[in-house]
Amino acid sequence: METIAIPAINFAPIMPEVILSIFGMALLLLNVFVPSEQKSYLGYLSIGGILIAGIWVLNGWNAPQAGFSGSVLQDNFAIFFKGIFLLSAGLTILISDHYFKREDCNLGELYPLLLFATVGMMFMATGTDLMTIFLGLEVLSVSLYVLAGFNRANLKSNEAGLKYFLLGAFSTGFLLYGMALTYGATGTTQVAKIGEFISQNGAVAQNPMFLIGMLLMAVGFSFKIAAAPFHMWTPDVYEGAPTPMTAFMSAGPKAAGFAAFMRVIIIAFPALKSDWSSLLWVLAVLTMTIGNLIALNQDNIKRMLAYSSIAHAGYALVGFTAGNAEGTAGILFYMLSYAFMNIGAFAIIILVGKKGEENNNVSDYAGFGFKHPVLALAMTIFLFSLAGMPPTAGFIGKFYLFSGAIKAGYIWLAIIGVLNSAASVYYYLRVMVYMYMKDPVEEFDWMKLSPAVALCILIAVVGVLVPGVLPAYLLELAQKAVLF
């Protein structure tokens, strides 16, 4: 009788995803039995799951492992991005309980959804097969659709969820069609094998099916990172979604989009570097310029930070266009720094808001520096970092992104990036002017700083200042995580 051999399955590369999935499913079951006034305990448990997954991730540094017939690879590149995802999720959970309690929307489903979204991001970073990346993207997207519209009593939140669903479905169509055409032209969905096929069969680069497939995948990923001109509805979603979810979407999922985009382009299409570099050059300039120009005219601070987020994607695309180790390391460093400074800024925005009134206009911050000087100082640090001012992590990140572009010969692209960064200082300084140079209109007596939000702000301030003053260690880790 013939025996059937069952191949050994190595779960080690996806063990952090397994841990978070188990915690997510357990929290869904516990949510049924936990009273509504005690939903905060689910948040504490989710933080525990993130910490356990984080320990497993860190233990994999410098010890790459592949699994599932090469469909996943936990290398330093994936580990660095997984750290960003876990950090983004953890900080978001810290600021979520305060916000949703205030809005009478503290539903226990929030925490499993955040964990499942993190699982999707991790698969996008660790996936080395187009189907694995697509699977991670869909797990992330479905979770985000619900999170964007989580406050069901708020019409803007409902609108944000619907618009994000339509935008996500539209962009997924481009991405999946591009993957299908690429598979048809190369006969494989594994990213490394696509690269090998192209190097061995140069004629495939002239195949219209292959070229259209590559272009459609680039369009699909551009939607995911909110690059112009594929950014439509992103500001609407950021404005309407609950503020903690806006913070999460602007940090973690954007980094996940870059992780997948970089792995596919750098590994699968190195032979076509001159072609995709030209495409990314145009994309970077459009994204930086459109994001900053529209942000200049925004009075709503959430909408301003949404367009700012688009501009920051453009800065990261500068390093991507360079296509060298310096540019790639700059992206890794910048994505981590951006998670600290952006989520930290949104934590302050949450505190300034009232129940049913989020006080999102810039004018609502008049006199904030006099009434709450410590929190205003923290907000100033985050805004300085977003503007790329020393001695913050934002300055170091932009310096290495633009340095990578200059080393690759893209001097004009670096100059355009510096000019855009200088223009962005105006709308960040505008908030500071209202905080410190305008007479208070409100007493801000409704503000209550919970321990969880205070911890989030403290972590974010440290994460912005320490790499800004002592960047060597973090930059060394980023350099060890590049794909070259």
Q: Which tokens hold the place of 324?
A: 């060298």
d(CA 389, CA 22): 42
Question: Measured between alpha carbons, how far is residue 235 from residues 84, 91, 218, 319, 430 in Å?
Answer: 23, 22, 21, 24, 19
For residue 72, the cross-strand partners are 67, 127
Instruction: Please report the pLDDT score of residue 257 as a whole number.
Output: 92
Pull the structure tokens for residue 460. 């974010």
Six token digits for residue 421: 């960064």
In this predicted structure, what is the pLDDT of residue 359? 64
| DSSP state, residue 264 | I
The tokens for 73 are: 């690879």
Q: For position 2, what pLDDT does the model report?
A: 59
Q: How far is CA 108 from the centre of its chain?
A: 23
Domain map (residue ranges) of the chain: 271-484
Q: Record the tokens describing residue 399, joined without a space.
A: 């310096």
Q: Which pLDDT belongs to residue 248? A: 92
Distance between CA atoms of 328 and 289, rounded to whole angstroms?
21
Q: Which residue has the tokens 């950014």?
A: 231
Containing H/E element for 337?
Answer: helix 325-352
Measured CA angle at 352 (ends 346, 353), to 5 deg: 90
Q: Show pLDDT as tens, one digit a residue, over the chain (484 residues).
A: 556 666 667 778 889 999 999 999 999 898 888 777 777 788 889 999 999 999 999 998 988 888 888 899 999 999 999 999 999 999 999 998 888 888 777 777 889 999 999 999 999 999 999 999 999 999 999 999 999 888 887 788 888 888 888 888 888 889 999 999 999 988 889 999 998 988 888 777 788 898 899 889 988 898 888 888 877 778 888 888 888 999 999 898 999 999 999 999 988 888 777 778 888 999 999 999 999 999 988 888 888 988 999 999 999 999 999 888 888 999 999 999 999 999 999 999 988 877 766 667 888 888 888 888 899 999 999 999 999 898 899 999 999 999 999 998 899 999 999 999 999 999 999 999 989 888 877 777 777 888 899 999 999 999 999 999 988 889 999 999 887 7
Q: How far apart are CA 311 and CA 351, in angstroms?
A: 25
Q: Which residues pair with 300 in a beta bridge?
A: 361
Which secondary structure element, helix H or strand E, spans residue 158, and what is its range? helix 155-186
In contact, 238 and 302? CB cutoff 8 Å: yes
Q: CA-CA distance, 435 to 437, in Å (whole number)?
A: 6
User: DSSP assignment of 29-44, as one string?
Assistant: HHHHHS-GGGTHHHHH
pTM score, whole prediction: 0.94
Nearest residue to 87 (alpha-carbon basis) of 129, 57, 60, 64: 57
